[in-house]
Amino acid sequence: MKNFIKSSLLVAFVATSSIFTSCSNNENEGLTPPDPTVGGEYQITVNPTNAGSADRSVEIVAAANDLVTVRVNYTGDKKMRRAYITRNDFSNNDGPQAYFYPTAVQKSDGSIDIDGDDKDDFVFDLQFDTPQNINEVVQYIIWTTNDKGDFRDISDSNSIDDDAYGTITIKAGANATGSSTSFKSFSQTILAAPLASGASESFVSLFDEKTHKINEGDETLALWDFGYFYGTSTEASFYSVYDYPKVFEKNGMGGLHVSEFVGTTLTELNRCYFKASSKTAADFDAANSASDLENTLTTADAERVQNLSVGDVVEFLDQYGNKGLIKVTAITPGNGSSGKITFDVKVQVNAIPVMP
């Protein structure tokens, strides 16, 4: 996993009616060839030789609350094993979100499985939701990987090039305007701090704004940013996933690190850097732009902050270069299922998950 992308926490978005089609074979369950009688009014092409080409993007004007079909042509420099898609609704403050297809074969991280001859090149017809309301804009980013990738890092295992992706921008009405949000905010409660079995919701994702259990397995580990821990002397604390205490147990072995429990390497775990802030709760509440969330943290700073109390404000820097603030709003002391913490988050977010 590479550090620092122009990204963002996505809540998983499920398209209720969509078709994801392949042109080469029937090995991909739920995928059928495009209709040859339909010309493909809208299309994008992404391959190893067209970097910077206008063919990699399309802008569409459509009716609100509708579907449009885009023909997507991809040729891999390496075998294409997965497709990742994000959706960014410019009318809200969520930033890019994972876009799921109910008829496609998906990995547990939400990516779409690519089988058979399609691993080399494919033509897919994809249906995309248009904005819910007139004068709104949504944008989709699509890329392929030759291995497990990362919804926040286009360069991770990209099967064409580090910055190879397609862009589909849909406007509801010719006069629609919009741009991506530069920051978002949410509230979260982490329950259990933690359980040795890994079954507790002790980790949070700044991408999908959800809590996660490490026993979900390595498919979702790219989503985990930091976890909650309650220590005897350190009490309420946040740790990056990379730096999390060795408290897990599996197959009769205790004192395991997250990487040992999941069965992966340290380099695959997200890092997050913290600093107790001199800012007050009122300062947190007043922050309303990405510039208000700037701080001096670097990757040389600590990946933990300890002895937290209600009302504390914490500055952070995530794996992908986004900075933000955390305000602690409630703490129930204790370990295991009895302990929990509630906090508010404001974090920077960029429109496209691509390395600088």
Lowest mean pLDDT among 65-69, 121-125, 161-165, 267-271: 121-125
Distances (CA, A) of 77 to 4, 47, 97, 160, 228: 24, 8, 26, 5, 41
Hunting for tokens 């996993």 — which residue is that?
1
Q: For 22-65, what is each residue's pLDDT tens digit?
A: 344 445 555 556 777 777 789 999 999 999 999 999 999 999 99
Lowest mean pLDDT among 26-40, 181-195, 240-254, 268-282: 26-40
| Phi, psi values for residue 25, rounded to 5° | -160, 180
Q: Look at residue 27 in the predicted model and tell me its pLDDT.
A: 56
Higher pLDDT among residues 17 and 299, named by residue: 299
Q: Look at residue 194 in the predicted model and tell me its pLDDT.
A: 85
Side-chain-side CA neighbours of residue 330 (13 Å): 9
Check pLDDT > 60 for residue 17: no
Tokens of 174: 């010719």
Higher pLDDT among residues 131 and 335, named by residue: 131
Higher pLDDT among residues 229 and 354, named by residue: 229
Dihedral sign, Cα of residue 200, residue 204, residue 210, residue 216: negative
Tokens of 261: 């429990």
Check pLDDT > 70 for residue 1: no
Q: For 22-31, what is each residue's pLDDT tens digit?
A: 344 445 555 5
Distance CA 308, CA 271 (A): 20
Q: Look at residue 31 in the predicted model and tell me its pLDDT.
A: 52
Query: pTM of whole model > 0.85?
Result: no
pLDDT-derived band of residue 181, with 50, 70 and 90 as boundaries? Answer: low
Check pLDDT > 90 for residue 192: no
pLDDT-derived band of residue 101, with 50, 70 and 90 as boundaries? Answer: confident
Check pLDDT > 70 for residue 354: no
Neighbours of 294 (CB within 10 A): 12
% of the chain beyond a pLDDT of 90: 66
pLDDT-derived band of residue 198, with 50, 70 and 90 as boundaries? Answer: confident
Q: For 147-169, what is each residue's pLDDT tens digit?
A: 999 999 999 999 999 999 999 99
**End-to-end CA gap in the chain:** 14
Check pLDDT > 90 for residue 355: no
Q: Look at residue 34 in the predicted model and tell me its pLDDT.
A: 74
Higher pLDDT among residues 225 and 215, named by residue: 225
| Spatial CA neighbour of 201 closest among 188, 191, 210 | 191
Strands 183-191 and 57-62, bridge-based pairing: unpaired
